[in-house]
């Protein structure tokens, strides 16, 4: 009886592990069109962040506020990407993590760029 319980528990853990792995590993399943959409949306999001931040540099001294406002203004690019990727039958949790990683990457770049710009201005 104990062996049967251990075997069932092991099987459940393996199945659960495959599901978790599938949620994290969605990029290997993307089509070329989906990759292209990700590239275009990422580039549009990055350009939007930078353009909006440039308009706010003179009026706002806190780089975090500039980045926060830029991210809110440009969120539609990532929302559209999220909706498009959901059409590809990916797990919503995986798509959300993927889109969040794109957002974090470009937000960090934006903060770095703004801080460098502010430092160069103060010298």
Q: What is the extent of the structural domain holding 118? A: 2-122
Q: In this structure, is the dihedral angle defined by the CA atoms of residues 95, 98, 101 and 102, taken in order, positive or negative?
A: negative
Residues of the chain with pLDDT under 50: 6, 8, 16, 18-25
Q: Which pLDDT score, from 0 to 100, does residue 121 have? A: 84
Residue 89 — left, alpha, or beta (φ > 0 → left; ψ -120 to 50 → alpha)? Answer: left
Task: Specify the number of domains making up the chain.
Answer: 1
pTM for the full model? 0.75
Listed in sequence order, the DSSP H helices in 25-123 are 32-56, 63-86, 92-122
Find where tokens 């353009």 sit. Answer: 51
Residue-wise pLDDT for 29-54, tens only, equals 888 999 999 999 999 999 999 999 99
């Amino acid at each position: 009886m104990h062996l049967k319980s251990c075997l069932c528990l092991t099987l459940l853990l393996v199945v659960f592990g495959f599901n978790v792995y599938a949620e994290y590993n969605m990029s290997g399943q993307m089509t070329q069109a989906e990759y292209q959409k990700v590239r275009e949306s990422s580039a549009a999001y990055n350009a939007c962040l930078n353009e909006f931040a440039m308009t706010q540099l003179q009026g706002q001294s806190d780089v975090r506020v500039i980045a926060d406002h830029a991210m809110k203004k440009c969120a539609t690019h990532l929302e559209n990407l999220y909706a498009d990727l959901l059409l590809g039958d990916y797990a919503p949790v995986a798509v959300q993590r993927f889109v969040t990683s794109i957002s974090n990457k470009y937000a960090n770049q934006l903060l770095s760029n703004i801080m460098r710009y502010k430092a160069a201005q103060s010298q």
